[in-house]
Structure 1
């Protein structure tokens, strides 16, 4: 429960707290508070940042109302820790928030879904999913062990299956690390370390640090790391602001502008290296100096288990290639094919989830309630046996963002209620097919390219 106020409690107005530049201003002053609103109470979380289990994601709601993001991602026990940083209340007459009725109804849905048992996972379902993935791994290993020395085709087939195995492990690690499967977070983290670290090669801490921030600020320019891919891929005109002060004669010489203008052509080649890039980022993140770029208080503790999980991944992966494939060209081919298949399969789904949907500014994000932000920036993909499997249930992207700890096998039960509520309040709920959604992604890339071209022609 939230902290009780006393007669001497300090009162704040919402205007005093809500400030898009609050974090930047406070960082320049070592004594300045990191204030946020949760359930109409004000907390200074500056001293809590180093101990926050979710890492630096907590910084995304400094100067904002963090009520719904807090309740969405934290167990009831988290209120006890939060109480240590309570500094006051929002004044009684200033407690109305924009879209309050819509947000209130989403909260009621969340409570109803809990009562209906939709947050309870099927252990048999996840046992089957893990077993299926291990079968893919075994099949890939068998093919390369049996025919890898003599058949280039066998190496390509084995590497392709391995790429699919990695993609599917990514979705399962996602489920376990979102604590969709086990209420005990120890087991969720342990399975996440195995499926994400040993199998997939992704650091759990790196993933949580990045992914939790994405959930807290989806498609918010300057805050969501998933759209911070400029100049390789540029998703909004916001990212083109860097060109506005560059003289026209220099503009044509910029490599970044060249990439933006031609990004639709480079889309699939870039995706081919996406998985390798994330693996490298993971390894760097768990090294002793891997978080040197972050403020000391925002660095995430890295366990020996996590470091060992990545070491085990690269040991079995490289060991498989050098043990069963003798031809150096085939070793290189196996590496490239496995990376490219997984990179494209992962990134195609990531792009469907949010790319091509509205990108909002920090100023807009401050004024928008948490749930509306999740919905208008997400894209659902029509369900089918293939789509549900291929995307790991993330074709229900809107439902996942609203209720991230709900197991994927229950999303189909709640989708009609979510869509109906959005229609009632006029909140855009976008759903499409996989091909149409991918075309929307390309259309958005083209729009940004044309905008960049116009900047180059302006005087």
Structure 2
């Protein structure tokens, strides 16, 4: 038991109450959540509902050590810690380790040392010329798309060329909004948030609040069933991961013919995600949560693109072009974002240390100028997941340090050619589908 009354607030923010890990781990319920950050114990039961990053992302660490994700997601930790003093209820007892006893002590300590080295090397500092260059090239392609249709007309070739260029604008703006969303460009969070709303809202027609809600959960617990929204379609559409696929089969659940999922993925995955699902859901999400500022930013995009191209095409062909852009972008987006995760370990949350968890769920794609541009540097998914606020132009510099740490602790650091990474999505879907079928028929 703790040395004081469990849950008693600490006067003046001084942690006099002490707890064991066993006590902390009991507070992981829907209405009762504690976390540990730097040996300090915080009661976030009510705060998680107003957490700026969203209720779920912080709630996923209830009853656990949240030191590494706290360091990973916040760029002004001292400011955030000032607001946390009212949540402080105590600290770990002196005889308790800094993190859960079942975690790899050496891996945790070495990763935290690596983070300090990375910060000392200046790899968390952005080169803003790089990011303004990325924005400029997006705007340049956007203007070029309009000029082609203005000069050459609306016959098939200029129509398709404009469509491909506008798809490129959408994909590249998607990678750029990702940078701002992760607070990777400016030293002040408010400037990143404002730029994020501009890029994702005005350039793409999507809400920042929706992206934040989903994406931070993904980073907090990647490939963890019921905690990572990116695999939330399991098991309605796909049986993902070896363990969960077998469980579905043993439970005799068959929402889809999963043994054929590597085939229908080409219909329900890359082509359909954006035009058939995200396109309407983003409006539903924004209105339901009353995020009117984000909705206003979104509307500016649809007004802009409509007034730009309807005079050329008319309403019918404008809508055809619009959904063709979304179709092409969806293929680009899904193949790039899933190549790093679907072939990797997918399971329930095992509360692994930050290094082990991220490396189990992510892999890299080999570096090249094209791969960097095509994927928005998400070919360095490992470095991105370990250091989410790191500016993407520094991933390559951090990679040798991460490889060395992984080698030291026997953690697999996997990097593949781009086409191999694409193919592995299909192979992994086929494998997990076969595992499901075998369990379904024989268990």
TM-score by length of 1: 0.87
Distance 1:336 1:388, change over 3 A: same
1:238 maps to 244
**Do 2:149 and 2:159's aligned partners in 1 also have CA atoms closer than 8 Å?**
yes
Distance 1:124 1:6, change over 3 A: closer
Q: 2:171 aligns with which of 153, 167, 172?
A: 167
Q: CA deviation at 1:456?
A: 3.8
1:412 maps to 396
1:349 maps to 336
Comparing 342-351 and 237-246, the one that deviates more: 237-246
**Do 1:257 and 1:452's aligned partners in 2 also have CA atoms closer than 8 Å?**
no
**Do 1:164 and 1:345's aligned partners in 2 also have CA atoms closer than 8 Å?**
no
Q: CA deviation at 1:355?
A: 1.4
Tell me the SS of whatever aligns to 1:94.
coil
**Do 2:274 and 2:330's aligned partners in 1 also have CA atoms closer than 8 Å?**
yes
CA distance in 1, matches of 2:163, 2:36: 49
Q: 1:104 aligns with which of 89, 100, 109?
A: 109
Tell me the SS of whatever aligns to 2:36.
strand
Q: CA deviation at 1:240?
A: 6.2
Distance 1:53 1:257, change over 3 A: same
1:278 maps to 278
Q: CA deviation at 1:372?
A: 1.5
Distance 1:306 1:194, change over 3 A: same
Q: CA deviation at 1:457?
A: 2.2
1:335 maps to 322
**Do 1:192 and 1:204's aligned partners in 2 also have CA atoms closer than 8 Å?**
yes
Q: 1:214 aligns with which of 215, 218, 228?
A: 218
Q: 1:262 aligns with which of 260, 263, 284?
A: 260
1:124 maps to 129
Distance 1:90 1:341, change over 3 A: same
Distance 1:4 1:422, change over 3 A: farther
1:143 maps to 148
- Structure 1: any 5+ residue segments left out of the alignment? 292-300
1:316 maps to 304
CA distance in 2, matches of 1:6, 1:124: 42
1:444 aligns with 2:442: no
2:3 maps to none
CA distance in 2, matches of 1:360, 1:105: 25
- 1:286-305 CA distance string (max 9 Å, x none): 10xx24xxxxxxxxx73x43
Distance 1:111 1:16, change over 3 A: same
CA distance in 1, matches of 2:212, 2:347: 22
Q: CA deviation at 1:281?
A: 2.3
2:346 maps to 359
CA distance in 2, matches of 1:352, 1:233: 15
Tell me the SS of whatever aligns to 1:88.
strand
Distance 1:51 1:369, change over 3 A: same
Distance 1:8 1:433, change over 3 A: closer
1:224 aligns with 2:228: yes
Q: CA deviation at 1:433?
A: 1.0
Distance 1:145 1:243, change over 3 A: farther
**Do 1:148 and 1:325's aligned partners in 2 also have CA atoms closer than 8 Å?**
no
Tell me the SS of whatever aligns to 2:270.
helix
CA distance in 1, matches of 2:218, 2:210: 12
Tell me the SS of whatever aligns to 1:89.
strand
CA distance in 2, matches of 1:326, 1:407: 41
Q: CA deviation at 1:384?
A: 0.2
Q: CA deviation at 1:245?
A: 4.1
Q: CA deviation at 1:4?
A: 10
Q: CA deviation at 1:323?
A: 2.3
- Structure 2: any 5+ residue segments left out of the alignment? 1-9
Distance 1:18 1:322, change over 3 A: same
Q: CA deviation at 1:152?
A: 2.3
Comparing 372-381 and 277-286, the one that deviates more: 277-286
Tell me the SS of whatever aligns to 2:378.
coil
Q: CA deviation at 1:316?
A: 2.3
Tell me the SS of whatever aligns to 2:367.
coil
**Do 1:34 and 1:46's aligned partners in 2 also have CA atoms closer than 8 Å?**
yes
CA distance in 1, matches of 2:163, 2:145: 7
CA distance in 1, matches of 2:205, 2:64: 35
Report how many residues are paired. Answer: 424
CA distance in 1, matches of 2:303, 2:264: 31
- 1:259-304 CA distance string (max 9 Å, x none): x2322222233311222322322221210xx24xxxxxxxxx73x4
2:406 maps to 422
**Do 1:176 and 1:188's aligned partners in 2 also have CA atoms closer than 8 Å?**
yes
